[in-house]
Amino acid sequence: MKPSLHELLDSARVVALPVVARFRGIDSREALLVEGPQGWTEFSPFVEYDDAESLDWLRATIDFGWSEAPHALRTSIPVNATIPAVGPDEVAAVLARFPGCRTAKVKVASPDQTLADDIARVSKVRELLGAEGRIRIDANGLWTVDEAEKAIHALNVFDLEYVEQPCASVAELADIRERTAYLGVPIAADESVRKTGDPLAVARAGAADILVIKAQPLGGIRAALSIIGQTGLPVVVSSALDTSIGISMGAHLAAAVPGLYFDCGLATASLLLGDVTSDPLLPVDGEIAVRRITPDPALLDKYAATPERRDWWIARLERTYALLED
């Protein structure tokens, strides 16, 4: 079922939510929210993405708002903490925002930092989580293969659960996976799954042991479940620093995955200083609930984007919808 553009625009609200620490070079996360027959849903491709790349995000928006969610196999999802590229003295404060989480994903490879900075950050996380905690690192594809090999070797002393997107391309992922096989550290693919025309290429190339799956960039819950089923690889369901409405979409996806062996990256509402609901999807005892979110009108007003940014998002929605029509 596809809504008309008028139906989408009729309830559209654009928000800008402040973040705890600078993330992907932004100080606030913008999103366009709309209400469908099944409830509120979100359209929030990153601002640097072009209209063609935003198309699957719109498909996901419509899927979640206009179609019933698949049957849920679980009512709550175990989640990981996310540590931005902060200094080691800031790690404790960030971790405190993720109560009960036994796993931490640590951002590394920031262009304005060094490997020594990454080592210091990961070391602090290990100290605070203790020996039983799980640490995964995420380079967002910013290392070359040689840089990745050196970094993985240096950081594996902290007992890594896996390394997420160490390099940008599928070929590079396959190369680094082969080079570091002797270390026994799994390689996870994120951007290579959601930013390629063929998400299954990663599995066919033997480029990853784990897939990081996000509902919005893959076209919605059903499209993501289809990809998961075809690859046969274990997955981590994650978010893209969404509002609690977008995270709810991810939670419903995670709830429908037949085998969920890893803590999911769906606790990122903890990285926001504000949200669109007074009951956000925050971790409780290391898990978030699988539930729909209805925004609070007062919070929609409080975090409303400027008129200029609202116009920008509305125009973006209109252009992307035109591609959907085509």
Residue stretches of the annotated binding site for Mg(2+): 138, 164, 190
Catalytic site includes residue 107: yes
Query: One of 2, 107, 124, 302 is an active-site residue; which one?
Result: 107
56 neighbors 27 (Cβ within 8 angstroms): no
Query: One of 124, 195, 214, 302 is an active-site residue; which one?
Result: 214
Beta bridge partners of 15: 31, 304
Angstrom distance (rounded) from CA 178 to CA 92? 35
Catalytic site includes residue 214: yes
Task: List, as residue ranges, the binding site.
Answer: 138, 164, 190
Residues serving a catalytic function are 107, 214
